[in-house]
Amino acid sequence: MTTSDSLREEVRRKYADAALAVTEGSGCGCGSGACCEATERADFGESLYTIEQRGELPDAAALASLGCGNPTAIAELQEGETVLDLGSGGGIDVILSAKRVGPTGLAYGLDMTDEMLALARQNAADSGISNAIFLKGLIEQMPLPADAVDVVISNCVINLSTDKANVLLEMSRVLKPGGRLGISDVVAEDRLTAEEQAERGSYVGCIAGALSKSEYEVGLEAVGFESVSVEFTHEVVDGIHGAIVKAVKTSDPAAKGLPVIQPATNAGCC
């Protein structure tokens, strides 16, 4: 097993344990060990959602929230839009998105963990949501066609990917021209080296693998995004922050000399 595969399996196992902890009623979403090392802070997890939003959700969906932000609050979702949530976990952001886009819209949740998918589907059913679809797959190989969605959201997941360049490519591929990103993630200050990041926390703890601010900006622009912004919201540890990432896919990539994005290998499977 490669280092990339072993890291992905460690992440999968952590989040499977988190889902089972909620399903079995043995505690909050982090189960026997923290999924993100900072999730016990007041600026992580369900506390980032308003009382009104939590009132729209089953208790299990709120308990399974392990994110570092509230992407539904920044994505400015509109009636009739199609939304994709990367690393959808227990379904909190998919359920809220489905409610925002209404019956003429659609909310996809993509996750690689069977236990989280089962929990999310149950939470959506308990919420009376009929316009949510949960897909099993990798965020590096999204099982959707090109130009399929209006909005991509994600909550503290991209930092966990072992192939972030492909995640950025895939986001550009599945978004329609003019589509937008509304992402919450853990992001490093540019001053930190990889070694300094690793000293502050583990990869599966959402620290060591975080992109830097400039890596996010340059990476998104390189795959066809414009109006890119990365805004720090709160410090997690020294030099590492929760952040809001927003961008718009350019409406005419060819006119700007940008590459035509091809789907990742096996993107249509899963």
Range of the domain at 42: 3-256
269 found inside a domain: no
Domain with 210 in it: what CATH number? 3.40.50.150
In a domain, 209, yes or no: yes
On the 0-12 / 13-18 / 19+ scale of CB atoms within 10 A, 254 is: exposed
Q: How far apart are the C-alpha atoms of 91 and 102, rounded to whole Å?
A: 16
Residue 63 lies in a domain: yes
The model carries a pTM of: 0.81
Please list the rounded mean pLDDT of every run of 10 residues in the chain (270 residues).
Answer: 79 79 60 42 48 56 59 88 95 93 97 94 93 97 97 94 95 97 95 93 86 97 97 94 96 58 42
61 part of a folded domain: yes
> What is the Cα–Cα distance from 256 to 11, expressed in whole angstroms?
37
| Structural domain includes residue 208 | yes
User: Angle at CA 231, nearest 5°, toward 215 and 71?
Assistant: 100
Quote the pLDDT of residue 74.
84
What is the distance between the alpha carbons of residues 131 and 91, in angstroms, rounded to a whole number?
Answer: 13
| Residues 247, 189: Cα–Cα separation, whole Å | 19
In a domain, residue 264? The reply is: no
User: For tokens 């929230």, what's the residue?
Assistant: 65
- DSSP E strands: which ranges in the chain? 82-86, 106-111, 132-136, 149-155, 175-188, 225-237, 240-249
Residue 262, in any domain of the structure? no
Q: Residue 212: its pLDDT value, please?
A: 96
Token digits of residue 174: 């599945």
For residue 66, being part of any structural domain is answered with: yes
Q: What is each CA distance from 173 to 5, 28, 139, 157, in whole angstroms?
A: 24, 35, 12, 19
d(CA 266, CA 166) in angstroms, rounded, equals: 13
Number of domains into which the chain is organized: 1
**pLDDT of res. 175:** 98
The predicted structure's pLDDT at residue 257: 56
Written as one letter, the residue type at 125 is: A
